[in-house]
Every structure is written in structure tokens, then in C-alpha cells.
Structure 1
């Protein structure tokens, strides 16, 4: 069953990120398989899938960290690979667990990024304040807890208020209070900074509270793209439980895995 709503033909949708049949293959393994995303400007797009579904690989392709095997993508009217550097200037990113210079302070780590991006000095203090690290800015990064390192990584992504944020599991290692704070921060960003957020997380209850749109990957293939309401309607039509995002997600993944096994037997 095809769960993908036809966003490509929706002329009222103002997409800031589009991918066309984006594919990444490693020898005999296809990590991302003909994925076409349509991410609306000013939205929070929840990018979901089991471990190994291809979420991080897709994000790395958008950031130019790994080269697509096939397909193309456009970000804010700029085409990859011709406009790769121009694209990177518009994106703040947090991919997997960020690494820092352990013998430098949080502030000094951010200042390195600031200088590379040629931003004003004030952007470091602003980013620290946004993620709640102002009082810890002068502490050595090696003395940061895992949660504080996640916050510092998010601060690095927010430097200079980029119009697009790509966040891969930004709440990993945070306690419930920290998760709540980061969720509220991410929710506020489109209005606060006029930005678009592409965020992946295994915490589906958090995505449900944040996201306007959802994309679901399984085995590198896009199973669904659309709003939460569209996902709920599709789930009900397919006879799935639709009380919350986690139920709908698990039903869709299980159904796809069952279909794959049946095809493999034929």
C-alpha cells in the first residue's frame, strides 16, 4: 500500500528542501532507495525510521558529507552539487554525537565554529543562552555531561541563526527536564528565527508534540510523507491503530516488514 501523499503536485506547498529519487548504495547494500522528500519552508519535519532505515545517511547527503549514488536534491532553490558551498552556508546541523576539543571550554569550542563561519562574537553567547549553557560556557568540554554535550552540539547548529536546521537525535542523553526544554526550543525556532527544522528521533512522543509533517523510512524506502492528520487517516483506512504516532509508526513498519518477507518467499 502506498501511504505517501502527493506533495509534489501540491502547488500551495512552499518547499525549501526537495529530493528526487535520492539513492545511496554501498556495494551490495542500498541504504537509501529512491527517496523523494518535500519539506515545507517554516515547518518542523519529523524524520522517522528504525535503526538502519537510512535517516542519518539521507541527512549526511543533504549536508554534502556523503555523495548520492543517484538522484538529486534542491535546498532553498540551490542545486547539489553545483551549489554545495552555498547550501552549507544556510544549514546548521547536529549529526549523531558531536565531537569537541575536550581541553577547550564550551565557549571556546563554539568560538572556533563562529570564526570558521565568520560570525560576530555575540553569536556565541546567544547560542549558549538558547540551549541553557550560559553558566557552563567557561567549563572544559571534557567535564560536560552527555546531556550538556548534546546541548553544546545544538548550540553549534544554532550559531548565526541559519534558515535550515538538520538535527539527528538532538535529545540523546538528556533527562526528562532537558528533553522538555529542547522540545520547547525546537518548537519555537520556526517562529523565533523564521527557520525550517528537519529532525530525526526515536522518541516518537516528542516528535508528535513538535512536528508539522512526518516522513517515515524503512529499509531505505519512504513509506509515508505528510501531516500527522494525513498519517492518522491513512492508518485508519489501513485498519491500523491510530491513537498516537508510536502506534501508527510501528503498525506501518510491521506491515512493510511482513510484506517484504512475503515477497522474498515468492
Structure 2
């Protein structure tokens, strides 16, 4: 089992508040890792740390054998990301928007067409971005993350705000990518049913702490041992969160 992303005791504090609290992750190469947790659990902060957008207070991480911060630039060259809603120049075409990114990254010209083909937007590359539907904009955002075919994709809520049809499109696209070109995906979502359909492994965060990491089968086994309902991921997830919240309240009272 080869881990392409590992963290050790990763922590991010803002004064007395721990947004990320000593988490240790193991993300397998070529797999989809689903990151779950309530709002404010620390998912986005963890992703921003991995992207070098914010520095950890303590702890370490490595990506594809490279250590942060020593190999920061080399790490970034291996990662494509979609954090929050993508933004583009509305008066430029989808192709022109991607070409700006291509030039910044110093990639060959065919990278634009390749990225558009990966996300199914080849026939819409010459359409102005402002005329794209919300689902098409999300696909263009994914194309900007995929340009150059990075080894790792970090996607924060890529289906946020989409209708069921758009969610279905993005889900199928994300699910196909590891097989299509052997990439690894770290994806966060509030839609637990979506993660259940695409993820190989999951990590569950609550109040900045990692409550569980492993496969869905391993989670079901853990749920049985703890006496949780095991019919679906949402029930197991909510049981785990509720138990952790109750334990925190008890510790505060003590």
C-alpha cells in the first residue's frame, strides 16, 4: 500500500482555537479519499495547508515523498485544485480562460484542449464563460485543476450549488479520473451519499480532530463494534459526530 499524501500531527491554531487538531492522514496513491465533516470541522483548512495557502502551527506533511516546506514548489507542481467556487473572466471563452492558466504554469498549448476533453467541454471551448451553465462552470473549474494532468487533485465541495443533474455529471467525472489517468483525489463534501458512491477511503473530521480514517467496509465494522446503525454512511457519520459532541460536552462539564 503506497501513500502519496501523509500528515503527522498536523495542527492549525488561531490563538486558542484549533481549526485542525493534530491530525494524521494516509491517502493512498490512485484512490479517491473522501473528506467528511460538519461546517467548521477543519476540512477546508487542512486542504489549504496541503496547498501551501496557510502554514500549519505544528506537525508535518509529505506529498509524493516530498517534504513541506523544503519542497514546497515541487509539491505544488504535482497538485491541481478547486477550492470554493471557480471564478473566470466572463468575457473570455472557456478556452481563453484556460490558456491564461496554461501560460502561468508554462505548459504546452495542447494542454488546454486536453483539459477540455477530460471534462467533456471540447465543443464549448469557444463559448464565453459568462454563457456557461453552473454545471459547465464547475466543469471548467475542474479543467483548470486538471490542466497538465497533475498527479494529485484537491477538490473542496466541487458539487456545491449544483442541481441533481449537475451533481450527477461531476460525480461521474470525478469517479472516472483515477482510472482515466492514474491520479489521486482528495475530495470534501457535505453530500454524504455522493462520497459513499465515489470514495475508496474516507476521513471524518469534527472540531478539527480526526474521528475515523479507513475504507467504508472498515467504517461499517467500527460502527457495529460501537453499536451504531450501519444501513448507510449518513447514519454512521451522524452517530459518530453525535457521540464525539456528547463526549466533548462531558469533558467541558468536568
Query: Of 56, 65, 72, which aligns to 1:84?
Result: 72
Give 5+ residue unaligned stretches, structure 1.
1-12
Measured against aligned partners, the alpha-carbon deviations of 1:195-243 in whole angstroms (never above 9, x if no partner) come to 1110101111111111110100000000000010000000111111111
Instruction: Tell me by how many angstroms 1:135 deviates.
Output: 2.9
CA distance in 2 between partners of 1:101 and 1:249 (Å): 39
Q: What is the TM-score normalised by the length of structure 1?
A: 0.92
* Contact 1:54/1:218 (<8 A) preserved: yes
May I ask how many residue pairs the two structures share in their alignment?
254
CA distance in 2 between partners of 1:261 and 1:134 (Å): 53
CA distance in 2 between partners of 1:101 and 1:178 (Å): 21
CA distance in 2 between partners of 1:133 and 1:29 (Å): 43
Helix, strand or coil: the match of 1:247? helix
Residue 150 of structure 1 corresponds to: 138
Query: Of 123, 139, 146, which aligns to 1:135?
Result: 123
Helix, strand or coil: the match of 1:160? coil
Matched, 1:184 2:148: no
CA distance in 2 between partners of 1:92 and 1:217 (Å): 23
Instruction: Tell me by how many angstroms 1:193 deviates.
Output: 0.8
Helix, strand or coil: the match of 1:153? helix
Helix, strand or coil: the match of 1:17? strand
Residue 249 of structure 1 corresponds to: 237
Helix, strand or coil: the match of 1:161? coil
Matched, 1:21 2:9: yes
* Contact 1:150/1:173 (<8 A) preserved: no
Residue 50 of structure 1 corresponds to: 38
RMSD after superposition: 1.2
Task: After superposing the two structures, state which structure 1 stretch, 95-104 or 140-149, moved more.
Answer: 140-149
Residue 6 of structure 1 corresponds to: none
* Contact 1:150/1:172 (<8 A) preserved: no
CA distance in 1 between partners of 2:14 and 2:159 (Å): 29
Residue 213 of structure 1 corresponds to: 201
Helix, strand or coil: the match of 1:199? strand
Task: After superposing the two structures, state which structure 1 stretch, 124-133 or 44-53, moved more.
Answer: 124-133
Instruction: Tell me by how many angstroms 1:174 deviates.
Output: 2.4
Helix, strand or coil: the match of 2:84? coil
Helix, strand or coil: the match of 2:229? coil
Q: What is the TM-score normalised by the length of structure 2?
A: 0.96
Helix, strand or coil: the match of 2:33? strand
Measured against aligned partners, the alpha-carbon deviations of 1:36-87 in whole angstroms (never above 9, x if no partner) come to 0000111110011000000000000000000111001000000000000000
Please identify runs of 4+ aligned residues in structure 1 that moved more than 4 A. none
